[in-house]
């Protein structure tokens, strides 16, 4: 496989995987103006990458490599579609009811308090017991999962200040990995160093989960920021928090 083929495979598969992953796993709005810009960009890159793989890859790659790339892209799309079908198998969600005051921890924005992206409010935390069972219906492991006390939505990474720190760290990690990939590519192409190619491949494999995590925390982060901008300024007793966030 040529260096150009490796670069095309890495870029195309990463873009398509991120676009399909966010459409399946993130609860994005059907209204375009409510979708964060970063998610729009990822979706457009995934769409363009898929189109390139299906219709134009043969112009830049060998016959076998282009067929493999098309099959991988179609497999990713199919898995994403199948996952979405499984998630929606329970039918449409019921209409949201008003959140009672007893379920809210704070009516004013506070990045240090838990915030539910489903309820769009600082709700009190809760816990549910998750039981893992085998094929005979016997429970072999149980654990507690943190959820929103009102809607029972998953409350992992639900504190805005923690999400901001995670976003910054993940951006830094993805930047470092990207620089390592570029250095390995330069070493392999211009200096004929054979060690450069394994470095590019390993860094590319590591970059995919890092970017996937980055998309997730960015989505959570932008959800909070969008809600924060819609709050009346006179409501907040934390005038410096909006500037920080």
Q: Is the pLDDT of residue 148 over 80?
A: yes
pTM over 0.75: no
Dihedral pair phi/psi, residue 200, rounded to 5°: -65, -45
The residue ranking higher by pLDDT, 92 or 29, is 29
**Predicted local distance difference test score (pLDDT) of residue 176:** 92
pLDDT per position as a tens digit, 91-103: 444 455 678 888 8
Per-residue pLDDT band at 238 (split at 50, 70, 90): very low
Q: Is the pLDDT of residue 73 over 80?
A: yes
pLDDT per position as a tens digit, 177-198: 889 888 888 887 777 788 887 8
Neighbours of 156 (CB within 10 A): 10
**Predicted local distance difference test score (pLDDT) of residue 169:** 92
Task: Give the C-alpha separation, 119 to 98, whole Å.
Answer: 9
Please report, for residues 90, 97, 151, 178, the alpha-carbon distance to residue 94 in angstroms, rounded to integers and kept in the order given. Answer: 11, 9, 11, 43
Neighbours of 50 (CB within 10 A): 20
| Domain segments of the chain as ranges | 1-84, 101-148
**Mean pLDDT across 209-215:** 82
**121-141: burial string, b at 16+ Cβ within 10 Å, e else:** bbbeebeeeeeeeeeeeeeee
What value does the mean pLDDT of the chain take? 79
Residue-level length of the chain: 245
Say if residues 130 and 143 touch (Cβ distance below 8 Å): yes
**Mean pLDDT across 77-106:** 69
**Taking Cα atoms as reference points, which of 182, 170, 128, 171 lies closest to residue 150?**
128
């Amino acid at each position: 496989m040529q260096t150009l083929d490796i670069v095309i495979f890495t870029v195309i598969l990463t873009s398509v995987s991120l676009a399909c992953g966010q459409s399946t796993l993130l609860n994005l709005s059907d209204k375009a103006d409510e979708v964060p810009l970063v998610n729009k960009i990822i979706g457009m890159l995934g769409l363009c990458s898929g189109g390139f793989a299906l219709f134009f890859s043969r112009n830049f790659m060998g016959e076998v490599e282009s067929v493999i790339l098309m099959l991988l892209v179609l497999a990713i799309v199919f898995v994403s579609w199948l996952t979405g079908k499984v998630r929606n198998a329970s039918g449409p969600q019921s209409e949201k009811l008003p959140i009672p005051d007893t379920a809210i921890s704070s009516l004013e924005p506070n990045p240090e308090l838990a915030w539910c992206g489903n309820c769009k409010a600082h709700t009190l935390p809760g816990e549910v017991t998750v039981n893992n069972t085998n094929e005979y219906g016997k429970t072999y492991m149980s654990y507690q999962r943190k959820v929103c006390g009102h809607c029972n939505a998953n409350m992992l990474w639900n504190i805005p200040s923690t999400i901001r720190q995670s976003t910054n760290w993940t951006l830094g990690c993805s930047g470092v990995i990207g620089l390592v990939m570029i250095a390995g590519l330069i070493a392999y192409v211009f200096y004929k160093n054979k060690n450069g190619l394994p470095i590019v491949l390993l860094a590319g494999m590591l970059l995919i989960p890092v970017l996937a995590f980055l998309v997730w925390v960015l989505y959570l982060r932008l959800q909070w920021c969008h809600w924060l901008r819609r709050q009346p300024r006179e409501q907040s007793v934390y005038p410096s928090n909006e500037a920080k966030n």
